[in-house]
Amino acid sequence: MQMHCAQVREHGDVDHLLLEQVPIEQPATDEVRVRLRASALNHLDLWVRKGVPGHRFPLPLIPGCDGAGVVEAVGDGVDEAWIGREVVLIPGVSCGHCTHCRDGNDMLCPEYGILGETRHGTCAETIVVPERQLLDRPEGISWEQAAALPLSALTAWSMLRKARLTTGDTLLVIAAGSGVGTMAIQLGKLLGARIIATGSSGAKRQLAKDLGASHTIDPADPNWWKEVKSQSDGEGADVVFENVGQSTFEGSLRALARGGRLVTCGATSGSQVKVELNRLFFKNQQIIGSTMGRRDDLNRLLRLQQQGLIEPVIDSTFPLQQIHTAHQRMESRESCGKIVITPWKD
Ligand code: ZN
């Protein structure tokens, strides 16, 4: 039996994303096979395709970290009752028994990996994963919505918690149109913050407002950070939510209040940034790095989704055979929210 998938054999432009047919894998001990009903793209998929200097991905590799589907086969040691269950995949894979895993901080596990980065991912018709990657799909949530939530919601939630965002804080969300940005606004609002967001297009700024931002800023103006100050009685933002890096970082630091926390999970525009240390320590500020989050938190986020308190913003949906168009759209930076991949259509 064969399945369709998108696979990276060599890094490069969008043509290096190969549509191939590969044998369907049998689940080994403690593993299950899931027939995917929807997957979602993340910026990580672009890094996997293009490559990252100094980093080796295990090629050939099927990208895709997010997915939801139906369990169709189980390996030894897995209860057959799983077969037919509708599930959402936990994107982070960890050993499950080291100190960090036992403490619930699975993203600190020395063996931590991500679907579609360290092992085959979800841009395929099926995926084999350890049983412990499965969570039940929340009732009443569409396949597309279920697949669009995990990585961006978990990342955003974890960042806001690490930055100790609290009621009454001003939260500045950089790049509100990204998957994590749209989640940060919704979660920030739930945590009682006042939200200012940057968006590089009118559509992205409007989306930020619709999601609950009280003020939006066009980052094209080199002094955009001054507007954060003027919108917060000259104080600046208590928490800055960064995922852009080089092109916005200096402004993000300038927008930060005394005692403020800048938290970052990404560097889509480049990772070399300038930090004025005098300003950082005189103002008692913190820069915090964050990647992924605790698997327990994903349960909480799925509950919030089921209660209608958060909802992934879906930009567009493409069947698997149009994944090139999907990648091009994400790379164009025109998308607002998540790009979802649905099963191959003959
Ligand atoms: Zn571990």
Task: Write out the residues surrounding ion ligand 1, Cβ under 5 A.
Answer: 94-95, 98, 101, 109
Q: What is the pLDDT of residue 235?
A: 97
Nearest to 80 by CA among 131, 35, 125, 38: 131
What average pLDDT score do residues 118-131 get?
A: 98
The partner residues of 195 in beta bridges, in order of sequence, read 171
The partner residues of 196 in beta bridges, in order of sequence, read 172, 215
Q: What is the pLDDT of residues 53-67, one digit of tens each?
A: 899 999 999 999 999
Buried b (16+ CB within 10 A) or exposed e, 161-176: bbbebeeebbbbbbbb
Nearest to 174 by CA among 258, 260, 266: 266
Distance 114 CA to ligand 1 centre (A): 13
Distance 15 CA to ligand 1 centre (A): 36
Q: What is the pLDDT of residue 317?
A: 98
Distance 6 CA to ligand 1 centre (A): 29
Q: What is the pLDDT of residue 333?
A: 85
**Domain annotation for the chain: domains and CATH numbers:** 2-149+312-342 (3.90.180.10), 153-289 (3.90.180.10)
Distance 105 CA to ligand 1 centre (A): 8
Distance 91 CA to ligand 1 centre (A): 15
Neighbour-count burial of 54, counting CB atoms closer than 10 A to its CB (0-12 exposed, 13-18 middle, 19+ buried): exposed
User: To the nearest whole percent, how much of the chain has pLDDT over 70?
Assistant: 100
In angstroms, the Cα distances linking 36 to 3, 51, 69, 70, 185 are 11, 25, 4, 7, 29
| 268 — pLDDT class (breaks 50, 70, 90) | confident
Nearest to 237 by CA among 225, 247, 250: 225
Tokens matching residue 170: 């001003």
Q: What is the pLDDT of residue 251?
A: 96
Q: What is the pLDDT of residue 18?
A: 97
CB 154 within 8 A of CB 180: no
In sign, the C-alpha dihedral spanning 47, 49, 322, 134 is negative
Distance 118 CA to ligand 1 centre (A): 15
Distance 100 CA to ligand 1 centre (A): 6
Distance 133 CA to ligand 1 centre (A): 14
Q: What is the pLDDT of residues 161-211, one digit of tens each?
A: 999 999 999 999 999 999 999 999 999 999 999 999 999 999 999 999 999
| 272 — pLDDT class (breaks 50, 70, 90) | very high
What's the chain's average pLDDT?
96
Paired sense of beta strands 194-198 and 126-130, if any: unpaired
Distance 103 CA to ligand 1 centre (A): 9
Distance 10 CA to ligand 1 centre (A): 30
Q: What is the largest CA-CA distance in the chain?
A: 64
Dihedral, CA of residue 16, residue 22, residue 26 and residue 32, to nearest 10: 40
Q: What is the pLDDT of residues 199-253, one digit of tens each?
A: 999 999 999 999 999 999 999 999 999 999 999 999 999 999 999 999 999 999 9
Whether residue 346 is predicted with pLDDT greater than 80 in this model: the reply is no
Distance 102 CA to ligand 1 centre (A): 7
What average pLDDT score do residues 288-293 get?
A: 96
